[in-house]
């Protein structure tokens, strides 16, 4: 299999962190990573549009030549393909809760922070939009309060002691903020500590560039 990806971008990083965490747990996925550079517009080139008509990253190319183009669908595919010692676990309630945290973080934090970054100091060179940035800056702190509450019982990681998909999602958004030099977690000490802790993990050291 091949993963078309780019370090630094949030959705590709989420999948790359997931793969690195699973490999750390002893799963050998044998996925070749192929760079597609959005700063050069390579995600909109005809050869990439054949992989993903939406012109986005990441894309997983299966061994039979078909493609999966949504980051979370790629992760769940890999969970199913390599079920032993998977990340989301087997207990139905635990799985439901883990998925809930991940979705809340993506929809209420990562996606909004991504738009905030593009409106503030876009790595893709989009025109800054202070009006949009000011509006978004009032929205994502609610998610930070939610994350602080989760971490307030002293857990190391979002799902407890083991890494979860939510950790990959949150860290990929925070890396994007560091890459763009846009501050988003000041005043949220438990999130800041989690961030420092997570970045010490071998998988994080392998994947994160910023
Ligand atoms: N919902 C998709 C979003 C994919 C996406 O928007 N990827 C960004 C990078 S984080 C991208 O390729 N942006 C460049 C573009 O859309 O031109 C997913 O989760 O995979």
pLDDT tens by residue, 8-19: 999 999 999 999
Atom of ligand 1 nearest to the CA of 9: 10
Domain made up of 2-81: CATH architecture: 3-Layer(aba) Sandwich (3.40)
CA of 59 to the centre of ligand 1 (A): 10
Query: Could you tell me which CATH number the domain at 92-201 has?
Result: 1.20.1050.10
105 pocket-lining for ligand 1 (C-beta < 6 Å): no
Q: Is the CB of 11 under 6 A from ligand 1?
A: yes
Structure tokens at 83: 């079920």
Instruction: Tell me the whole-structure pTM to 2 decimals.
Output: 0.97
Q: Where are the alpha helices (DSSP H) in 85-140?
A: 92-105, 111-121, 130-137
For residue 168, give the nearest of 102, 91, 83, 81 by alpha carbon: 102
As a whole-number percent, the residues of the chain with pLDDT over 90 amount to: 99
pLDDT tens figures, 43-101:
999 999 999 999 999 999 999 999 999 999 999 999 999 999 999 999 999 999 999 99
pLDDT tens digit sequence for 19-42? 999 999 999 999 999 999 999 999
pLDDT for res 204: 98
If phi > 0 it is left, if psi is from -120 to 50 it is alpha, else beta; for residue 146 that is alpha
Q: Which helix (H) or strand (E) holds 75?
A: helix 71-81
What is the average pLDDT score of the chain? 97
Using CA atoms, how far residue 18 sits from 21, 65, 79, 163, in Å, is 5, 22, 10, 9
Q: Which atom of ligand 1 is nearest to the CA of 106?
A: 19
pLDDT bin (cut points 50, 70, 90) of residue 130 is very high
The structural domains of the chain, with segments of one domain joined by +, span: 2-81, 92-201
Distance, in Å, from the CA atom of 207 to the CA atom of 148, rounded to the nearest integer, reads 25
């Amino acid at each position: 299999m091949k993963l078309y990806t780019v370090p630094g971008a949030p959705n590709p990083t989420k999948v790359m962190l997931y793969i690195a965490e699973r490999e750390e747990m002893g799963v050998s996925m044998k996925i070749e990573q192929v760079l597609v550079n959005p700063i050069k517009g390579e995600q909109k080139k005809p050869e990439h549009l054949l992989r993903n008509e939406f012109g986005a990253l990441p894309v997983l190319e299966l061994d039979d030549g078909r493609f999966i183009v949504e980051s979370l669908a790629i992760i769940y595919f890999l969970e199913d393909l390599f079920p032993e010692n998977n990340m989301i676990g087997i207990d139905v309630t635990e799985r439901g809760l883990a998925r809930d945290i991940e979705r809340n973080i993506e929809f209420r934090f990562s996606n909004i922070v991504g738009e905030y970054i593009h409106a503030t100091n876009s790595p893709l060179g989009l025109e800054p939009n202070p009006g949009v940035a000011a509006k978004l800056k009032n929205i994502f702190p609610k998610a930070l309060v939610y994350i602080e509450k989760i971490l307030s019982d002293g857990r190391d990681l979002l799902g407890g002691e083991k890494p979860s998909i939510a950790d990959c999602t949150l860290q990929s958004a925070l890396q994007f903020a560091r890459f763009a030099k846009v501050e988003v977690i000041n005043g949220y000490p438990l999130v800041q500590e989690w961030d420092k802790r997570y970045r010490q993990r071998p998988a994080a050291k392998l994947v994160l560039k910023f």
